[in-house]
């Protein structure tokens, strides 16, 4: 096994019997999680008819109750206490530390958050997604507002139950990824926003001259042509078709059900442009390949799937921005484009990359270019923070949203569907998750810097149709660890340093200051 994935490093601090019991407990919890995710996939993919939502929600709430019973039973509590005690000593292995961290976090939340509140969040999320879809189609923010109030109220009560003395938004962020506090994010985002706006101002006139009209030629595609190009992307990225299946949905998402079962999606045919559809597939493929590539030792310990939040988003953003948008990757995609559209027969990969990377000020996060994307996230983060700090009411967030878009990006949503209703996250219970997309960008840039330094010919090989150097490096340094490490630990191990925002800003300058 490569040293980067040597999960047994360190002394064995717990007995073989305790390890066996801990693994058994974790795996039983993961089986319940698998079932919950399978039900989520069933609803989100449209397989479950609307009339079946109620029964599926009842089943989900029963699974939550079973999970709570397992976490709070005397045996699990004893295992968790013993694990935590053993790991207070020096020299514990990566797997031991990972098991202790994974189990402790869940036992502590189950102890503090009442079952009724957890079930209420689940029900509000299922119903919220349904209401969001209706209100988005109708452009009806007022109709969505009661569901939004319910979500934020539940999130605040959960935060108070977990830690009544902490700032609620800090607790909410930590539930998504405990790596950074609100004040740390604010400081990072101040640097990012200044860097992005500076680059945009200095290069805007040059980018405005880039002719990207060729891209529209691909929008007359048939569904069959689109499917062939999606298959091309899957192959070019080196995905394992036995582990990864594709599907279509209104709002792309990846559902990771098992250690070798990840289900990335992209947009329904014709709902967005071809290149946005392809880019979304590359993004979700990053999630899927990360989730399904934990080492066998990690799988057996039940810690497969990757670190939720920042680390997972770093992999999706790496695939989207540091692979899919590069001339090296596009040089391999162009033959497929030319197969479907004669206009692409003679296009230069660098020219196509410039078209796809052209900064365009838009109101849509999902359609945003790479340079301005973090500003979309910062707007959402600031609104969430201000709501939890009590300086912004939910009734006023549509206006606050529109005003910040106009101030930060110079564009204003024409309606709620283009603005405050454009994302499903608040409806589905993912309050506090947005920051991980922007931090994922920072992590991805630092990972890209380390990869190019350690494997100088990786992208040259990609241009020849061989992604294996990139995939192997990611698998050995990031994917193999599953959930055994924290996001900062994975980044430090892969890149040799803690988060350094300058790698991200250097990447943006290199790509956009032309």
Known binding residues for Zn(2+): 283, 287, 313
Helix axes 182-208, 168-176, angle to 10 degrees: 70
81 touches 18 (CB < 8 A): no
354 touches 326 (CB < 8 A): no
Residue ranges of the alpha helices (H) in 478-500?
487-495
d(Cα 360, Cα 367) in Å, to the nearest integer? 9
d(Cα 443, Cα 495) in Å, to the nearest integer? 10
180 touches 439 (CB < 8 A): yes
Instruction: Dump the DSSP string for 39-85.
Output: HHHHHHTT-S-GGGHHHHHHHHHHHHHHHHHHHHSHHHHHHHHHHHH
Give catalytic residue positions.
284
CB atoms within 10 A of CB 353: 19
Nearest in space to 306 (alpha carbons), one of 319, 320, 294, 318 = 294
d(Cα 178, Cα 169) in Å, to the nearest integer? 12
Spatial neighbors of 428 by CB under 8 A, at least 6 apart, are: 125, 128, 129, 132
H-helix or E-strand containing 19? helix 16-44
193 touches 186 (CB < 8 A): no
CB atoms within 10 A of CB 91: 11
316 touches 289 (CB < 8 A): no
First vs last C-alpha separation in the chain: 43
Nearest in space to 378 (alpha carbons), one of 399, 409, 357, 421 = 409
H-helix or E-strand containing 254? strand 254-258
Q: What is the largest CA-CA distance in the chain?
A: 68
Let me know if 457 is exposed, middle or buried by CB neighbors in 10 A (0-12, 13-18, 19+). exposed
Q: Which residues are annotated as a binding site?
A: 283, 287, 313
275 touches 282 (CB < 8 A): no
Torsion 11-15-16-22 (CA) sign: negative
How many Cα neighbours within 13 Å face the side chain of 32?
18
């Amino acid at each position: 096994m490569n040293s980067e994935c040597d999960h047994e490093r360190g002394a064995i601090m717990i007995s073989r019997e305790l390890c066996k019991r801990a693994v058994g407990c974790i795996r039983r919890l993961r089986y319940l999680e698998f079932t919950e995710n399978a039900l989520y996939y069933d609803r989100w993919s449209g397989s479950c008819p609307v009339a079946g939502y109620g029964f599926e929600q009842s089943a989900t709430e029963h699974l939550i109750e079973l999970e709570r019973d397992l976490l709070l039973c005397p045996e699990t509590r004893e295992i968790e206490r013993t694990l935590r005690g053993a790991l207070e000593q020096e020299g514990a292995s990566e797997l031991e530390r990972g098991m202790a961290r994974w189990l402790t976090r869940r036992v502590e939340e189950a102890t503090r958050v009442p079952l009724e509140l957890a079930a209420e969040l689940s029900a509000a999320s299922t119903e919220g997604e349904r209401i969001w879809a209706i209100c988005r189609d109708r452009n009806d923010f007022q109709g969505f507002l009661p569901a939004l109030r319910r979500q934020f109220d539940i999130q605040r009560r959960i935060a108070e139950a977990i830690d009544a003395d902490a700032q609620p938004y800090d607790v909410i962020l930590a539930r998504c990824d405990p790596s950074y506090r609100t004040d740390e994010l604010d400081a990072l985002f101040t640097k990012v926003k200044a860097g992005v706006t500076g680059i945009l101002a200095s290069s805007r006139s040059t980018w405005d001259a880039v002719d990207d009209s060729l891209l529209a030629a691909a929008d007359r595609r048939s569904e069959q042509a689109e499917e062939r190009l999606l298959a091309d992307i899957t192959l070019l990225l080196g995905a394992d078709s036995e582990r990864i299946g594709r599907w279509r949905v209104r709002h792309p998402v990846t559902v990771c059900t098992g250690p070798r079962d990840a289900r990335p999606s992209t947009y329904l045919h014709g709902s967005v442009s071809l290149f946005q559809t392809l880019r979304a597939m590359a993004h979700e493929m990053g999630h899927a390949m990360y989730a399904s590539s934990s080492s066998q030792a990690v799988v057996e310990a039940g810690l497969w799937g990757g670190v939720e939040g920042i680390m997972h988003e770093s992999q999706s953003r790496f695939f989207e921005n540091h692979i899919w948008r590069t001339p090296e990757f596009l040089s391999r995609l162009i033959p497929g484009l030319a197969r479907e559209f004669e206009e692409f027969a003679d296009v230069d990969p660098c020219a196509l990359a410039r078209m796809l990377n052209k900064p365009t000020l838009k109101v849509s996060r999902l359609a945003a270019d790479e340079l301005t994307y973090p500003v979309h996230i910062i707007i959402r983060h600031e609104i969430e923070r201000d709501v939890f700090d009590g300086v912004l009411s939910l009734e006023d967030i549509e206006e606050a949203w529109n005003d910040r878009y106009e101030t930060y990006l110079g564009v204003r949503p024409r309606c709620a569907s283009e603005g405050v209703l454009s994302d499903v996250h608040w409806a589905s219970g993912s309050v506090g998750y947005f920051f991980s997309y922007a931090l994922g960008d920072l992590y991805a840039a630092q990972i890209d810097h380390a990869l190019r330094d350690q494997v100088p010919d990786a992208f040259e090989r990609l241009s020849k149709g061989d992604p294996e150097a990139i995939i192997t490096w990611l698998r050995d340094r990031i994917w193999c660890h599953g959930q055994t490490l924290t996001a900062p630990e994975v980044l430090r191990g892969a890149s040799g340093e803690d988060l350094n925002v300058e790698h991200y800003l250097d990447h943006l300058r290199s790509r956009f200051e032309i």
